[in-house]
């Protein structure tokens, strides 16, 4: 196992109290596995991604452990995490466009970045990786403003994985891109795994169709908790959690027309995580909720590798 | 109802406006009452510029946009019939005022003579048209409402006017999958009541869900337009095919449309003039017969 997360709780401090953004997440990620993390806004998917690399000032690590390659990550300790960032855990941010220093040419920026980590640039390797994602080598002598959005995104991907991290977190990397660029970026991510630049990957997105194409496993989160986790095909073809089912039903696909088939959204909205209700958090919106749902549903392994947190599944 | 004829838009760029870039090139199409037309294109294709020109926010460089036979004249009378809704619902509202203040502004500007009680009834009717519970949304600040609620508040605001055309510029791209579809269904219901909608999006699946007709833009020019079922069921232009093949779909692997790779439409010397391939289905590819 490459990554083991157990009972992770991360809360946000606010004036009104603590927002329980992650409330007891337990999951594992195998070697070479790409995990797609999906859910609505505010379900905690980005918080999970951030917790694994850098918590901002408002976030507090309350409980739980994160073990990467047999070593526990000190996720609550900003300074101790420095030894792991970039080397062991790396991140591709959502807005790669704004992640590059606008006042430096890319070559100088990369040199400075690696120097700060005590490494030197292996230009041959850097250029080989740029070739792989389809960037021409003379990009290194340009300023970020001279690159298009998709090019910048791919450049950041190459930079983030230069030190061959064990875990790569890709947070909504394709949501600001056009469909054709999105495809190129997603393909490049798959290429990184094949070339063993990264061992495993967490791909955070709200686009289930895209996740299905690149992830081995999909994990669906709802209101800070795991709802369902299973191999990608199983989630799409045979979901067991009512939330996953409704979410899939609400996806418009090319060719689906209002006149032929009216899709339905999920009524209601997710509960506030400031003081979340007891029991199943999807209960209020769930069409099949019953009395037992007032109790917290345990995460059960219904089939090999198919984990579901629902009493009715 | 709304008609665009050879609309061209050039923006001046450079230090003293010495250079210009053509954002929209000779675009012509029409939106009739009770019809949803989706305008699909990637970033920089000029789709939002077209929306802004229709709303009178940017002047047209050449060509003409007419609404019911009259040219666009930004002003009170024009906005009585045409309203726009944009991508980010949170920046559409002033965060220091309550969200329902937008309704009072409509009343002051357009219906000062309507008594308060009657106006409150009209607001409630508009809110129930957009499936909002007045008690849940009135008197709240924007940050207390969800993105889907705010977008629906804006649609309700448009309904209070004598609205004929709604320009919806990426209105669902910041919403979650579960609420996005509710907003789309709402547009479909309004369409059934005779509202014309120009639905601007980069998301092909959302565009096809509602629209009768689709216009595909590339770099400011129309590459293909026609009935949605024809444009996406039987795409003629290689660019449309490429767009379709890049959309991730469930239950179907990403196929590489091989015919597209061999096409050189990027450098193709074709003039880009629209050809009517079948009745009502236009395509800007002069090599339809010769291309594989």
Q: What is the ipTM of this complex?
A: 0.78
Beta strands in B16-142 (DSSP E): 19-31, 36-40, 62-67, 70-71, 82-85
Contacts of B149 (CB under 8 A, 6+ apart): B132, B136, B137
Average pLDDT over residues B121-133: 88
pLDDT at A118: 86
How much of chain B exceeds pLDDT 70, in percent?
Answer: 91
HEC profile for A120-186?
A: CCCHHHHHHHHHHCCCCHHHHHCCHHHCCHHHHHHHHHHHHCCCCCCEEEEECCCCCCCHHHHHHHH
A3-88+165-236 carries CATH number 3.40.630.30: no
Chain B residues with CB-CB distance to A209 below 8 A = 247-250
Q: Please give the angle made by the CA atoms of A145, A148 and A149, to the nearest 5 degrees.
A: 105
Looking at the structure of chain B, the number of domains it has is 1
Structural Rg of chain A based on CA atoms: 20
Chain A residues with CB-CB distance to B228 below 8 A = 257
Of B146, B205, B246, the CB nearest to A252: B205
Chain A residues with CB-CB distance to B179 below 8 A = 265-266, 269
Of A213, A250, A266, the CB nearest to B254: A213
pLDDT at A202: 95
pLDDT at A168: 95
Cβ–Cβ of A252/B43 closer than 8 Å?
A: no
Average pLDDT over residues B95-101: 90
pLDDT less than 50: residues of chain A: none
Mean pLDDT of chain A: 90
pLDDT digits (tens, 9 = 90+) for A34-83: 999 998 888 888 889 989 998 888 899 999 999 999 999 999 888 999 98
Instruction: Identify whether B290 is part of a domain.
Output: no
Cβ–Cβ of B246/A182 closer than 8 Å?
A: yes
SS3 A6: strand
pLDDT at A170: 92
Q: Which helix (H) or strand (E) holds B126?
A: helix B116-129
> Which stretch of A44-53, B78-87, B249-258 has the lowest confidence by average pLDDT?
B249-258
Confidence of residue B136 (pLDDT cuts 50, 70, 90): confident
User: CA torsion A47→A52→A57→A63, rounded to 10°?
Assistant: 90
Q: A284 exposed, middle or buried (CB, 10 Å; 0-12, 13-18, 19+)?
A: middle
A176 close to A149: Cβ distance less than 8 angstroms: yes
Q: Please give the angle made by the CA atoms of B249, B50 and A177, to the nearest 5 degrees.
A: 35
How far apart, in whole angstroms, are the C-alpha atoms of residue A233 and residue A216? 8
Terminal C-alpha separation, chain B? 39
Q: B241 exposed, middle or buried (CB, 10 Å; 0-12, 13-18, 19+)?
A: middle
Confidence of residue B259 (pLDDT cuts 50, 70, 90): very low
pTM of the predicted protein model: 0.84
Contacts of B52 (CB under 8 A, 6+ apart): B58
Mutating which of B209, B210, B257, B261 best tests the A interface, going by the most A Cβ atoms within 10 A? B209
Structural Rg of chain B based on CA atoms: 20
Cβ–Cβ of A237/B178 closer than 8 Å?
A: no
Average pLDDT over residues B66-92: 89
Structural domain boundaries, residue B268: 2-283
How far apart, in whole angstroms, are the C-alpha atoms of residue A29 and residue A157? 21
Q: B253 exposed, middle or buried (CB, 10 Å; 0-12, 13-18, 19+)?
A: exposed
pLDDT at A146: 87
Count of other CB atoms within 10 angstroms of residue B123: 21
Chain A residues with CB-CB distance to B34 below 8 A = none
Chain A residues with CB-CB distance to B202 below 8 A = 178-179
Confidence of residue B290 (pLDDT cuts 50, 70, 90): low
pLDDT at A52: 92
Contacts of A250 (CB under 8 A, 6+ apart): A263, A264, A265, A266, B177, B178, B180, B181
Confidence of residue B263 (pLDDT cuts 50, 70, 90): low
How far apart, in whole angstroms, are the C-alpha atoms of residue A216 and residue A229? 11
The CATH number for B261's domain is 3.40.50.300
Instruction: Identify whether B288 is part of a domain.
Output: no
For residue B179, the chain A residue with the least C-alpha distance is A265
CB contacts < 8 A (A, B): 106
Chain B residues with CB-CB distance to A43 below 8 A = none
pLDDT at B262: 47
pLDDT at B280: 85
pLDDT at A28: 93
How far apart, in whole angstroms, are the C-alpha atoms of residue B290 and residue B184? 39
Cβ–Cβ of B42/A251 closer than 8 Å?
A: no
Cβ–Cβ of A180/B42 closer than 8 Å?
A: yes
Mutating which of B149, B172, B248, B251 best tests the A interface, going by the most A Cβ atoms within 10 A? B248
Domain boundaries, chain A: 3-88+165-236
Q: How many residues are recorded in chain A?
A: 313
Average pLDDT over residues B200-216: 89
* Higher per-residue pLDDT: B289 or B157: B157
Instruction: Identify whether B102 is part of a domain.
Output: yes
């Amino acid at each position: 196992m490459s990554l083991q997360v157990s009972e992770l709780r991360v809360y946000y401090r606010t004036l009104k109290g603590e927002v329980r953004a992650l409330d007891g997440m337990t999951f594992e990620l195998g070697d070479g596995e790409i995990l797609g993390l999906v859910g609505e806004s505010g379900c905690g998917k980005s918080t999970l991604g951030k917790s694994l690399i850098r918590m901002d000032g408002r976030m507090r690590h309350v409980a739980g452990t994160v073990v990467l390659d047999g070593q526990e990550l000190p996720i609550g300790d900003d300074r101790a995490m420095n030894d792991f960032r970039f080397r062991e855990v790396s991140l591709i941010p959502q807005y790669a466009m704004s992640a590059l220093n606008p006042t430096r040419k890319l070559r100088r920026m990369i040199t400075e970045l690696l120097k700060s980590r005590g490494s030197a640039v292996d230009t041959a390797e850097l250029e080989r990786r740029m070739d792989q994602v389809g960037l021409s080598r003379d990009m290194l002598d340009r300023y970020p403003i001279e690159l298009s959005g998709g090019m910048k995104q791919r450049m950041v991907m190459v930079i983030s994985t230069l030190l061959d991290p064990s875990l790569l977190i890709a947070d909504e990397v394709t949501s600001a891109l056009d469909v054709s660029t999105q495809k190129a970026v997603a393909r490049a991510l798959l290429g990184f795994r094949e070339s063993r630049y990264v061992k495993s990957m967490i791909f955070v997105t709200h686009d289930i169709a895209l996740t299905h194409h690149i992830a081995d496993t999909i994990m669906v989160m709802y209101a800070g908790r795991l709802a369902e986790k299973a191999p990608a095909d199983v989630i799409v073809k045979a979901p067991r959690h009512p939330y996953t089912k409704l979410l899939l039903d609400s996806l418009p696909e090319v060719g689906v027309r209002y006149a032929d088939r009216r899709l339905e959204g999920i009524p209601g909205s997710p509960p506030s995580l400031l003081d979340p209700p007891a029991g199943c958090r999807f209960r209020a919106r769930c069409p099949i909720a019953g009395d037992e749902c007032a109790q917290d549903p345990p995460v059960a392994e219904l089939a090999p590798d198919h984990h579901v947190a629902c009493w009715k599944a | 109802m709304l008609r665009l004829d050879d609309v061209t838009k050039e923006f001046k760029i450079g230090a003293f406006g010495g250079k210009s870039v053509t954002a929209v090139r000779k675009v012509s199409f029409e939106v009739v009452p009770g019809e949803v037309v989706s305008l699909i294109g990637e970033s920089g294709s000029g789709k939002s510029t077209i929306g802004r020109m229709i709303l009178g926010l940017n002047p047209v460089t050449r060509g003409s946009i007419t609404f019911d036979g009259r040219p666009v004249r930004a002003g009170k009378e024009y906005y009585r019939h045409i309203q726009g809704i944009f991508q980010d619902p949170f920046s559409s509202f002033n965060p220091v005022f309550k969200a329902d203040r937008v309704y009072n502004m409509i009343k002051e500007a357009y219906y000062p003579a309507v008594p308060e009680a009657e106006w409150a009834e009209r607001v409630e009717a508009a809110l129930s048209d957009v499936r909002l519970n007045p008690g849940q949304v009135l008197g709240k600040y924007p940050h207390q409402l969800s993105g889907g609620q705010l977008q629906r508040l804006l649609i309700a605001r448009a309904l209070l006017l004598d609205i004929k055309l709604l320009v919806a510029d990426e209105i669902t791209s910041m919403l979650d999958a579960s609420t996005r579809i509710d907003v789309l269904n709402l547009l479909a219901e309004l369409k059934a009541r005779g509202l014309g909608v120009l639905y601007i999006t980069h998301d092909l699946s959302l565009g096809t869900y509602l629209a009768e007709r689709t216009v595909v833009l590339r770099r400011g020019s129309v590459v293909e337009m026609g009935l949605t079922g024809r444009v996406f069921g039987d795409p003629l232009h290689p660019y449309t095919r490429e767009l379709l093949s890049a959309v991730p779909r469930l239950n179907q692997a990403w196929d590489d449309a091989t015919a597209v790779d061999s096409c050189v439409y990027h450098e193709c010397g074709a003039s880009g003039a629209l050809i009517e391939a079948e009745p009502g289905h236009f395509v800007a590819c002069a090599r339809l017969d010769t291309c594989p």
